[in-house]
Amino acid sequence: MGISVVIPVMNEQENIRPLFERLIAQLEDLGQSYEVIFVDDGSTDNTFAEVKALHDEHPGIVRVIRFRKNFGKTPALVAGFSRCRGKIVFTMDGDLQDDPAEIPRFLEKLEEGYDLVSGWKYPRLDPITKTFPSRVFNALVRTLTGVPLHDINNGFKAYRREVIDDAYLKLYGEFHRFVPVMAQWRGYRVTEIKVRHHPRRFGVSKFGARRFARGLIDLLNVLFLTTFLRTPLRFFGPFGFWTFLLGLLIDAWVVIRSRLIENQPIHTQPMLFVGILLMIFGVQFVLVGLQSEMIRHYAFQPGEEYSIKQEIDVQ
């Protein structure tokens, strides 16, 4: 199979058929074998009926996965990835805002040697309630991870097969938006291209403040996994040391001031207890780091330490 297209959908009944018609027209022009996998993520409208009708009309091309309830975009992509057969795998949203006509440009970028190409909606035709939080979030991701993408949340992406087959690139929770970050951490080449963006015509956006908050929590998680997963004590150790030292200095200053300057009882000084708490927290951080190192030791898997692109004459 040349190309697989994985499309998670939820309550997109009006968008399914127009999207498929545009998509199949573009894929036919490429002259490669292809498949389209719709993942119905717990729709409550007629979305499943629409994708099932497409399956009946195009057997062997359209494949359908139906969840019992809404599990989220990451599980939907994982289900599609585990069942797709293409050497190149595309993901796109089912809301008609991604343009299938951009697919050849993704393929050209992959031909340049990149392993993952992410779309950048430019200009983005969404209300400011979506664009402003997205810009803040993307700037934060670029700054903290060093991955120079302007639209990390964009679902329009192209992957080489080896990226989604990487057993150590684990997707759970809502990590789908951070696949480029984790892929670059594993040594894959990641880039982006500007793509046309269309305003939503049917259905309702699934974006909200709750999703934005979850994204910030996931960003913290990904930062830890991609920087200190192998050496957790290097994160907790210095943090604990400096916290303990700060508490020790505060208590030393309280003792000196109380005994030598003001001649007051030490136990009446509130800062004394602040220093004691900081020292306790410092010790706890170090202990957490040591415990994490023990977990890391017993959960160690050699394949997680490296990522091989090619082997020659290896038996």
Contact between 2 and 28 (Cβ < 8 Å): no
User: Which of these ranges, 13-27, 40-54, 127-141, has the smallest mean pLDDT?
Assistant: 127-141
Tokens of residue 13, six digits: 């009944």
Give the integer Cα–Cα distance in Å for 185 and 174: 18
pLDDT one-digit tens code per residue, 117-164? 999 988 877 777 777 888 888 898 898 888 989 998 899 999 999 999
**3-state DSSP call for residue 60?**
coil
Q: With bands split at pLDDT 50, 70 and 90, how would you rate the model's confidence at 241?
A: very high
Instruction: Please report which helix (H) or strand (E) contains residue 65, including its range.
Output: strand 62-66
Determine the pLDDT at residue 172.
80
**53: pLDDT strictly greater than 70:** yes
Tokens of residue 92, six digits: 């796109």
pLDDT one-digit tens code per residue, 197-224? 877 777 666 655 566 677 778 888 888 8
Give the integer Cα–Cα distance in Å for 284 and 98: 48
Give the integer Cα–Cα distance in Å for 231 and 84: 35
Give the angle subtended at the CA of 187 by the CAs of 181 and 191, to the nearest 5°.
Answer: 55
Contact between 7 and 37 (Cβ < 8 Å): yes
Query: Which neighbouring-strand residues pair with 193?
Result: 119
Determine the pLDDT at residue 300.
66
Residue found under tokens 């830890």? 224
% of the chain surpassing 90 pLDDT: 51
pLDDT one-digit tens code per residue, 270-308? 888 999 999 999 999 999 988 888 887 777 676 666 666
Q: What is the mean pLDDT of the chain?
A: 87
Determine the pLDDT at residue 207.
58
Type of residue found at 292: S
Mean pLDDT of the 40-57 span: 93
Determine the pLDDT at residue 295.
83
% of the chain surpassing 70 pLDDT: 92
Mean pLDDT of the 29-40 span: 94
Determine the pLDDT at residue 315.
52
Give the integer Cα–Cα distance in Å for 176 and 225: 15
pLDDT one-digit tens code per residue, 167-189? 888 888 788 889 999 999 889 99
- N-to-C CA span, the chain: 28
Q: What is the pTM of this model?
A: 0.79
Determine the pLDDT at residue 302.
66
Give the integer Cα–Cα distance in Å for 110 and 136: 28
Mean pLDDT of the 65-72 span: 91
Fold for domain 3-229? Spore Coat Polysaccharide Biosynthesis Protein SpsA; Chain A (3.90.550)
Pairing verdict, β 88-91 and 3-9: parallel
Give the integer Cα–Cα distance in Å for 106 and 156: 10
Q: What are phi and psi of 7, to 5 degrees?
A: -130, 100
Give the integer Cα–Cα distance in Å for 216 and 222: 10
Give the integer Cα–Cα distance in Å for 8 and 75: 9
More confident of the two residues 204 and 79: 79
Give the integer Cα–Cα distance in Å for 180 and 163: 10
Type of residue found at 288: V
Give the integer Cα–Cα distance in Å for 100 and 27: 8
